[in-house]
Amino acid sequence: MLILVTGATGKVGRRFIAGLLDDPRFTKARIRALCHNRLLPETSRIEVTKGSIADQHVAAAAMKDVTHVLHLATCKETPSAVMDVTVKGLFWLLEAFRTSATAQQFILIGGDAGIGHFYYRHDGPITEDTPHRAYPGSYALSKVLEEVMLEQFAIQYGLNSCCLRAPWIMEKDDFKYTLSFGDDVFGGPDWKTLVPQDDARRYAEAGTVPLLRDANGRPLKRNFVHVDDLVSAILAAIDNPRAKRQLFNICMDRPVDYGEVAAYLAQTRNLGAVDIPSQYHSNWMDNSKARYLLDWQPSYDLERLIDSAWQYERSHDDRRIVWYPG
């Protein structure tokens, strides 16, 4: 087993590589990490190749002798590169995969941006049959195109492919900083821009958290997944015959409810909350299909997600760095 991992230096790539190397089912598996800007150290089981999948020759060389692919490489809101990387790059990988004599399985990590996450109202749970609906911007469009391309290649050429669709992926203290009113906020919304400047400064100093409300005025429900749970789903999908040509929602059993977050932080850490109105829509990704076919289940619920983020202590050489815009 030789697994090509694109986007190998990201939070999912690093955690997946560590998880696979520790898994007794894959003691003979080797990894080829395709890196673009950052590199991983090579070992007896990890080889590193450098380049961009937007280059057909790089993609073809990276695929040589590969049996499995885990495709993680992506762009965020970078219109100048997003089509080259996420569309053309995936095309070159799939072209090399379908003509390879060794290729056995192609796994894509999709995203809930492809179905619009909280930008659109959903009348029921979001399942794998929910139609694609990109929200404004290049990133969401690219996630739609990735999923559709993989699906069509599987139809055209009978590929053994699988897409694991994940919402916002958390690790370490990420979740804590998604709720910050300071400049250290992780992701969006950027809470400090939604309240007066003096209030934002005061909230940041006190650790006050936003209680985001949906378009109906109720606490908003939004989907998350911890990186450890996503990695366990990937490992469950590898060489699983029930994963062939399937799309799975990989997420927490229940979406994060900002009202429940505020109540739990008030109870356990005496933190205040402030209402933030929005025109976003609550939604609920249904992970039943993955639980049934992959015999997988997430280990993180709301309390564990919060506690692990607030208890995490970063070392001095583990600075929070956002590697991409958007």
Q: What is the pLDDT of residues 187-243, one digit of tens each?
A: 889 999 999 999 999 999 999 999 999 999 999 999 999 999 999 999 999 999 999
In a domain? residue 187:
yes
Q: Are the C-beta atoms of residues 46 and 29 closer than 8 Å to each other?
A: no
Lowest mean pLDDT among 21-35, 285-299, 310-324: 310-324
- Indicate the pLDDT class of residue 284, thresholds 50, 70 and 90: very high
CATH number at residue 156: 3.40.50.720
In a domain? residue 267:
yes
In a domain? residue 58:
yes
d(CA 20, CA 26): 7
In a domain? residue 305:
no
Task: Kindly state the percentage of the chain with pLDDT values over 90.
Answer: 89
Judge if 144 and 40 occupy the same domain.
Answer: yes
Judge if 166 and 148 occupy the same domain.
Answer: yes
pLDDT 10s digits, 60-102: 999 999 999 999 998 888 888 899 999 999 999 999 999 999 9
Strands (E), 185-245: 209-212, 221-222, 224-226
pLDDT score, position 75? 85
Judge if 82 and 139 occupy the same domain.
Answer: yes
Residue reference for tokens 């050429």: 157
pLDDT at 323 over 80: no
Judge if 26 and 91 occupy the same domain.
Answer: yes
- Indicate the pLDDT class of residue 259, thresholds 50, 70 and 90: very high
In a domain? residue 72:
yes
pLDDT at 162 over 90: yes
pLDDT score, position 97? 98
In a domain? residue 313:
no
Judge if 163 and 205 occupy the same domain.
Answer: no
pLDDT score, position 316? 85
pLDDT score, position 81? 87
Lowest mean pLDDT among 58-72, 73-87, 126-140, 283-297: 73-87
Tokens of 200: 């934002």
Selected residue with higher pLDDT from 316 and 2: 2
Q: Are the C-beta atoms of residues 275 and 217 closer than 8 Å to each other?
A: no
pLDDT score, position 78? 85
Q: How many structural domains comprise the chain? A: 2
In a domain? residue 310:
no
Judge if 133 and 181 occupy the same domain.
Answer: no
Judge if 87 and 231 occupy the same domain.
Answer: yes
Q: Residue 15, SS3?
A: helix
Judge if 34 and 149 occupy the same domain.
Answer: yes
Residues 136-144: what's their mean pLDDT? 95
pLDDT at 326 over 60: no
Q: pTM (2 decimals)?
A: 0.96
Judge if 91 and 12 occupy the same domain.
Answer: yes
Q: How far is CA 82 from CA 13, 91, 143, 227, in A?
A: 19, 13, 10, 23
In a domain? residue 43:
yes
Judge if 88 and 237 occupy the same domain.
Answer: yes
- Indicate the pLDDT class of residue 325, thresholds 50, 70 and 90: low
Judge if 182 and 45 occupy the same domain.
Answer: no
pLDDT score, position 324? 64
pLDDT, averaged across the chain: 95
Q: Are the C-beta atoms of residues 217 and 279 closer than 8 Å to each other?
A: no
Q: Are the C-beta atoms of residues 323 and 74 closer than 8 Å to each other?
A: no
Residue 75 belongs to domain spanning: 2-171+223-252+283-299
Judge if 129 and 19 occupy the same domain.
Answer: yes
pLDDT at 109 over 90: yes
pLDDT score, position 143? 96
